[in-house]
Structure 1
Amino acid sequence: MRGLTGKRIVICGGATGIGAATAVRLAEEGCRVLIGDVNVAGAEETAGRIIAAGGTALAAGFDLSDEASVRTLMDRAVSDLGGVNGLFNVGADLSPGTIGHDGDLSAMDAAVWRRTLEVNLIGYAHSCRAVIPLLLERGGGAIVNTSSNAAFVGEPLRPAYAASKAGVNALTRHVASRWGKKGIRCNGVSPGMVLSETGMTHMSEEFLAAGLVGTRSTRLGRPSDLAAVVAFLLSDDAEWINGQTWSIDGGGSLRD
C-alpha cells in the first residue's frame, strides 16, 4: 500500500486477535509499531514475532481506561519511535465479568455500564485526544477506531456494549469533522464474527453455524481480514476517506 513505509503507528489493544494481526500487517507494510495492551505478555509476544520477521515493534503495558496511562503510551511513542503518524484503537473489555453481565435493561447492572463505557468509549476519547496534537505536529495523520455491528443491529442483550460502540461511531465522526481540514482522518471498522488466529473460539458450534448462515460469504472472519482494511485506512491510499465506519463482516449487514 502507498505511504505506509516508515510510518509510526500506535496500537491500543494489540496483544491478541485483530490488534495483533494488524500490528503484524502494518510491520509487513514497513511501519514501526508500538503495541500497547493491558496484557503485557501478549503485547511482547506479538512484538517478538514482528522483530523475528525483520520488522520494528515495541511493546508496552497500558490501561485504556486510565487517561494517565494512555498519555504515557503516547509519550513512549514519541521518545522511542520519534513521533506518531497513526493510531489504531481496538481495545475493549470483553471479560466475562463485564460483557458476560451485560444483560437487558431489566437486569441492568450500572457498574457494568460504567466499566464498558470507561474502556470502550471514554478510553478511545482519551487516546484520540492524546494523539491529535502529535498528528498535527506532523501535518496530519490517521486514526482508525474499532466499532461493532452491535451499534446498529438492535441485539436483545449487550446494550452497554452496543451503546459504547454507537458512541465510538459518533466520536469517529466528531474527530473527522473537527480536524479533517487540518489533515487528520478518522475512520472506523465494524467487525462481524471473527475467529481467532488458530480458529479456536469460546463460541459454540451452533452459534458459529448461525453466524455463517447470517453472512453472504463462504466463511467467518479472520483477524487478517480486519488487519488488511485497517492498514488501508491508515495508508495514503485512503487519503480521501474520512468520518466513515465500514462493516467488515462478510456481508452480514447490508447498509449504506
Structure 2
Amino acid sequence: MRGLTGKRIVVCGGASGIGAATAARLAEEGARVLIGDIDIEGATATGKRITAAGGVAVAMEFDLADEESIQALFDRAVSEFGGLDGVFNVGADLSEATIGRDGDLLSLDPEVWRRTFEVNLLGYARTCRAAIPLLLTNGGGAIVNTSSNASFVGETVRPAYAASKAGINALTRHIAARWGKKGLRCNAISPGLVLSEKALQTMNEQFRAAGLAATRSTRLGKPDDLAGTVAFLMSDDAEWINGQVWSVNGGVALRE
C-alpha cells in the first residue's frame, strides 16, 4: 500500500484481536505504531511481537473512559514519534458486567447505558478531539473508527451497544464533513462475527455455526480481515474515501 512507510499511528485498543492484528499490519507496511490499551500486558506483548518482526511499536496503558489518560496517550505519540498521522479506534467495553447486562429495553439498566456510552462513544469522541489538532498541524491525516453490524441490523438485545455504535457512525461523518477540506479523512469499519482469541475462548460451537449459516461466505471473520481494511483506509490509496462506514462482515448483512 502507498504512503504508510514512516507514518505515526496510534491504535486505541491494540492488546488483542482486531486491534493487535491491525497494529501488526500497519507496522508491516512501514508505519510506526503506538499501542494503547487498558490491558498493558497485552499491549506490551503486541509491541514485542511487532519489534521482533522488525517493526517499530511502543505500548502504553490507557483508558478510553479517562480523559487524562487519553491526552497522555497522544502526548506520548508526539514525544515518541514527533507527531501524528493516523488513529485507529477499536477499544470497547465488552465485559460481562457491561455488555453481558445489556438486555432488551424493558430490562434497561441506566448504569449499563452510561458505561457503554462513556467508553464506546464518548471515548472515541475524546480520542478524536485529542488527535484532530495534531493531524491538522501536519496538513491532515486519517482516522478509522470501529463500528458494528449491531448499529443497523436491529438486534433483540444489546440496544446500548448498538446505539453507541450508531453514534460512532454519526461521529465519523461529522469529522469528515467538518475537517475533510483540511485534509482529514475519517472512516469506520463495521465488522461482522470475528473469531478473535477472546471470542474463540467464549463462543460455543452452536453460536459459531449459527453465525456461519448467516453469512454469505465460506468462513467467519479473522482479525486480519479487518486489519487489511484498516491499513488500506489509512494509506494514500484511500485518499478519496471519506465519511464512509464500511461493512466487513462476510456478507452477513447487505447494505449500500
Bin for the TM-score computed over the shorter chain: over 0.9
Question: Is the CA contact (8 Å cut-off) linking 2:37 and 2:60 kept in structure 1?
Answer: yes
Q: 1:177 — aligned with what?
A: 177
CA distance in 2 between counterparts of 1:3 and 1:99 reads 37
Q: 1:162 — aligned with what?
A: 162
Shift of residue 28, structure 1, vs aligned partner: 0.3
Match of 2:168, as an amino acid?
Answer: V
TM norm structure 2: 0.99
CA distance in 1 between counterparts of 2:199 and 2:163 reads 28
Shift of residue 67, structure 1, vs aligned partner: 1.1
Shift of residue 199, structure 1, vs aligned partner: 7.8
Q: Which moved more, 1:190-199 or 1:211-220?
A: 190-199
SS at match of 2:130: helix
Q: 2:29 — aligned with what?
A: 29
Q: 2:236 — aligned with what?
A: 236
Match of 1:194, as an amino acid?
Answer: V
Shift of residue 198, structure 1, vs aligned partner: 8.8
Matches within 5 A, 1:80-119: 80-119=80-119
Gaps of 5+ in 1: none
Shift of residue 206, structure 1, vs aligned partner: 0.9
Q: 1:122 — aligned with what?
A: 122
Q: How many residues align?
A: 256
SS at match of 1:10: strand
CA distance in 2 between counterparts of 1:172 and 1:9 reads 18
Q: Which moved more, 1:199-208 or 1:158-167?
A: 199-208
Q: 1:252 — aligned with what?
A: 252
Cα deviation, 1:228-249, whole Å, max 9, x if unaligned, reads: 0000000000000000000100
Distance 1:198 1:52, change over 3 A: farther
Match of 2:103, as an amino acid?
Answer: G
Matches within 5 A, 1:66-81: 66-81=66-81
**In percent, how many aligned pairs have the same letter?**
71
CA distance in 2 between counterparts of 1:185 and 1:19 reads 19
CA distance in 1 between counterparts of 2:105 and 2:131 reads 35
Match of 2:110, as an amino acid?
Answer: A
Question: Is the CA contact (8 Å cut-off) linking 2:17 and 2:198 kept in structure 1?
Answer: no
SS at match of 1:246: strand
Shift of residue 200, structure 1, vs aligned partner: 2.5
Shift of residue 81, structure 1, vs aligned partner: 1.0
TM norm structure 1: 0.99
Match of 1:220, as an amino acid?
Answer: L
Where do 4+ consecutive residues of structure 1 move more than 2 Å? 197-201
